[in-house]
Structure 1
Amino acid sequence: MKLVIIEPLGVDEQKLLSLTHDTLGQDIEVIYYDTRTTDTDELIKRGQDADIIAVSNLPLSREVIAGCTNLKMLAVAFTGVDHIALDACRERDITVCNCSGYSNAAVTDLVFGMVVGLYRNLIPCNEVVRQEGTKQGLVGFELEGKKFGIIGTGAIGMRVAKVAAAFGCEVYAYSRTVKNEEGIHYTDLDTLLKTCDIVSLHVPLTPSTTHLINADKLALMQPHALLINTARGPVVDTKALADALCNHQIAGAGIDVFEVEPPVPSDHPLFSAPNVIVTPHIAFATIEALEKRAVIMLDNVKNFLSNTPTNVI
């Protein structure tokens, strides 16, 4: 069997290869590529002899899947799989496994980093103090007592709910699956948007969630409300969000994901909107999380080889 790690996974190469051999043994051939490419021909060249391909968030198109003629498994070192041509995989009975759970803590941390950054005006405070200024006009808000809305209560959404509760927030949720968790008030989407001071998105990208937050939904939110998106960019109509911010329909936003992977064009409408913290799709990216996902990915490969696949999509 041949495993091709088709792009860097954010873990030191020697550490990753050592972990690979410790987990899978010496009988599997491992090829590691330390560069990232989106060139279709190059990706096919890298993966054409692979039985298993490990990939993070690098897009793998139908053409690439078709060119990897020996492929039996895709070990996706990521939670979302919207960058993978899943239909092509299903047609060839290729098993696709993800690494759900590796970034729960990391994403949650960034959610609250953004909320606190916006509530306490950290970016303008940093700027003004360097210019010999004061707190004038920069007095912020506390999280305690705020209504915190979570859209999507999967593993990350549930962790966000627990942290919000620890801050003293009232927690509201909207999700396709209602969970019997004390302290979480489930409601419909419109009621959540009308009610909550903070709205945090934690849904996968599907046809039903594309532009889930659009101009009409933003119009329901309160003028002092914040929107946080660490899920997927197209879940939000970002042009509508930029307009809502510029028109003071809502007070601020924390955005980690866009319609495209960074680099994001410098003329993106959110970049000229007020009171926005933007980050380059980094919510999942901590040293600890990247090591966790390498372990989960390799366990997925090991279990696949043992005919007991785990985390199958």
Structure 2
Amino acid sequence: MLVKLLEPLHVSEALIEKLAEPIREKGHEFVYYNQKTTDSAELAKRSEGADIIMIANNPYPAEAMEQNDQLQLINVAFTGVDHVEVPQGSQQNFMICNAAGYANQAVAELTIGLTLDLYRHITRGDKEIRADHFPGSFQGSEIKGKTVGLIGTGKIGMMTARLFNAFGAKLIASDSARKNPEAATLDMEYMELDQLLKQSDIVSLHLPLLPSTKGLISKEKLEQMKETAVLINCARGPIVDNDALAEALNTEKIAGAGIDVFDMEPPISKDYKLLHAKNVILTPHVGFFTDEAMELRANIAFDNTIAFLEGRPQNRIQR
């Protein structure tokens, strides 16, 4: 089989070569493109003849699949696969797998970091102390004793819960899919979403982007939050009505927000309302992006390829 890695994985080429050794040892061909491209035609060209393609979080267009009728596996070195544009009515018999779990710690730590920045005014403090008009010290808050509402209690949600628990926070949760049995060990109480929003000091999102979750945090839901509450989103941008969030921040309906994900991938257009909202900390979709996470996802992605070649596909998303 022909295996093609269409974009860099932000690890050394030496590690890529090491991970590709078992593929070649099994008699398969491995091709690696070390330059990122977002051009649909170029991605289609790179995909030509491949039985297995490996990608990361770069959008993968339907055009690339339509021109390759022998494609058997799209191996996504990422958790979400919503950037893979499967052709409508496609009859191609290919699988999609992902690298879920590689960034659990990384995303959970950024969630904590954004919360700390909002509570202790770290970014603001850096700007103020460098300015000639430094106004003096300003008062912050502590996580200890606060009620943290986790919306989604999968692996990342529970990793985040454990970190907040270590700070001494009270944990509550809402999850329409399932109740995580680990919640009991953290004294986490499950409740309906509306109840959670009304009780939480910190609301943290940990959901996939699905038709059922798109726009879940609407203007009406934001209005149920405390005026002193903050919202953290390191999940998927469209889960939140971000125009409504900007309005809630500017009218002080909620106290702040920490946002790593948007309605589009950065760079963000200058007229995007969150860019001009009050008391919001923005990061450019880097929740997953640590040295450790990049190495782990490369290992998972190549394990997925090898497992498929051995006839035991794993981490399957759909067929």
Superposition TM-score, scaled by structure 2 size: 0.94
CA distance in 2, matches of 1:207, 1:142: 36
CA distance in 2, matches of 1:87, 1:311: 22
Q: Is this contact kept in 1: 2:154–2:180, CA < 8 A?
A: no
1:216 alignment partner in structure 2? 220
Q: Is this contact kept in 1: 2:23–2:29, CA < 8 A?
A: no
2:179 alignment partner in structure 1? 178
CA distance in 2, matches of 1:22, 1:107: 30
1:59 alignment partner in structure 2? 59
1:299 alignment partner in structure 2? 303
2:99 alignment partner in structure 1? 99
2:195 alignment partner in structure 1? 191
Q: Is this contact kept in 2: 1:194–1:220, CA < 8 A?
A: yes
Over 3 Å counting, the alpha-carbon distance change for 1:21 and 1:193 in structure 2 is: same
CA drift at 1:25? 2.7
1:83 alignment partner in structure 2? 83
Amino acid at match of 1:288: E
Q: Is this contact kept in 1: 2:66–2:87, CA < 8 A?
A: no
Cα shift readout 1:90-120 (whole Å, capped 9, x = no counterpart): 7322111100000000001100000001100
Q: Is this contact kept in 1: 2:23–2:30, CA < 8 A?
A: no
**Higher alpha-carbon deviation: 66-75 or 100-109:** 66-75
Helix, strand or coil at the partner of 2:53: strand
Aligned residues: 312
Q: Is this contact kept in 2: 1:24–1:302, CA < 8 A?
A: no
2:291 alignment partner in structure 1? 287
Q: Is this contact kept in 2: 1:66–1:88, CA < 8 A?
A: no
**Higher alpha-carbon deviation: 20-29 or 226-235:** 20-29
CA distance in 1, matches of 2:309, 2:166: 42
2:205 alignment partner in structure 1? 201
Q: Is this contact kept in 1: 2:197–2:224, CA < 8 A?
A: yes
Cα shift readout 1:182-215 (whole Å, capped 9, x = no counterpart): 2111000000111000001110001110110010
**Higher alpha-carbon deviation: 167-176 or 60-69:** 60-69
CA drift at 1:69? 2.1
Helix, strand or coil at the partner of 1:294: helix
CA drift at 1:29? 1.2
CA distance in 2, matches of 1:74, 1:223: 45
Superposition TM-score, scaled by structure 1 size: 0.96
CA distance in 2, matches of 1:303, 1:214: 41
1:160 alignment partner in structure 2? 160
Q: RMSD in angstroms over aligned alpha carbons?
A: 1.6
Q: Which runs of 5+ in 1 are unaligned?
A: none
Q: Is this contact kept in 2: 1:48–1:69, CA < 8 A?
A: no
Cα shift readout 1:257-291 (whole Å, capped 9, x = no counterpart): 11111111122101111111101110000011000
Helix, strand or coil at the partner of 1:173: strand
CA distance in 1, matches of 2:89, 2:295: 27
Identity %: 44
Amino acid at match of 1:295: N
CA distance in 1, matches of 2:42, 2:245: 37
Q: Which runs of 5+ in 2 are unaligned?
A: none
Q: Is this contact kept in 1: 2:2–2:51, CA < 8 A?
A: yes
Helix, strand or coil at the partner of 1:281: coil
**Higher alpha-carbon deviation: 125-134 or 219-228:** 125-134
CA drift at 1:20? 1.7
Helix, strand or coil at the partner of 1:259: coil
Amino acid at match of 2:193: L
CA distance in 2, matches of 1:19, 1:89: 35
Over 3 Å counting, the alpha-carbon distance change for 1:78 and 1:241 in structure 2 is: same
CA drift at 1:135? 4.3
CA distance in 1, matches of 2:162, 2:57: 28
Q: Is this contact kept in 2: 1:143–1:167, CA < 8 A?
A: yes
